[in-house]
Amino acid sequence: MPRRLRIVIYSALLTLALYMYWVSGHQPVPEQAPVKTGAALIDPLNPSGSLNVKRGALTSVYEKAPFNLKFDYIPLADGRSRVVGRSKDGSTVIELVGPPEGVTSINLMASLSDEHPLIRLKNLNAILFLIEVTLADWAGAPAWVVSNIDEAFAGNGATTSANGKAISISVAPQTQTLVVTIIGPTL
């Protein structure tokens, strides 16, 4: 399938997913006031600052339909705070690292298998929601992700930065799982 056609299809699917989400009666997460960076909000063991997103703003959306992730608190070996959310079918996993007041890094692993179109659509919506919330200050973020999905599946991946935040997308080896990583500004 030509690359431009895939981009159009991905864009249409993301738009449809957002419309379905809106029609289903779910309310979007209210806009969060930016978290002020300061010593109290920055984990001294983590070299990155806050993404200006509260952990609860993400978990409250991902716990509900259509995502239905179950979150567990699993601290990292170095003592940093971390919660991991998993879907029942294993098609979606999100890792939120950092204090509740301001997550410092996020990894979202989402299956985009052509064999399961509804799961693919749900996961594209999960990716879009994450991008819109964590990169709200970068208007071109959704377009950048959509335009680099094919690159990721071709094995090239893509990395960029915006407003001090590092963003990368890649595909987990030998799978159809897209990995989106967002890391807060370097301190």
* pLDDT at position 5: 62
pLDDT at 173: 87
Going 172 to 177 to 178 to 184, the CA torsion angle's sign is negative
Query: For residue 177, which amino acid is it?
Result: T
The mean pLDDT value of the chain amounts to 81
Which pLDDT band, with edges at 50, 70 and 90, does 171 fall under? very high
Confidence of residue 44 (pLDDT cuts 50, 70, 90): very low
Average pLDDT over residues 149-165: 91
- Report pLDDT digits (tens) over 12-38: 665 655 555 544 443 433 333 333 333
Percent of the chain scored above 70 by pLDDT? 75
Is the CB of residue 159 less than 8 Å from the CB of residue 145? no
Where does the pLDDT of residue 186 fall: very low under 50, low under 70, confident under 90, or very high at 90 and above? Answer: confident
Please give the pLDDT value at position 1.
59
pLDDT for res 7: 65
pLDDT at 11: 61
Range of 141's domain?
Answer: 3-183
Give the integer Cα–Cα distance in Å for 47 and 145: 25
pLDDT at 125: 94
- The tens digit of pLDDT for each residue in 49-89 reads 899 999 999 999 999 999 999 999 999 998 889 999 999 99
pLDDT at 45: 45
Q: Which residues lie below 8 Å from residue 150, measured CB to CB, with a gap of 6+?
A: 3, 6, 7
| Cα–Cα separations (whole angstroms), residue 115 to 2, 59, 128, 160 | 19, 27, 21, 30
Note the pTM of the prediction, 2 decimals: 0.74
Using the predicted structure, report yes or no on whether residue 146 has a pLDDT greater than 50. Answer: yes
Count of structural domains, the chain: 1
- pLDDT score of 108: 97
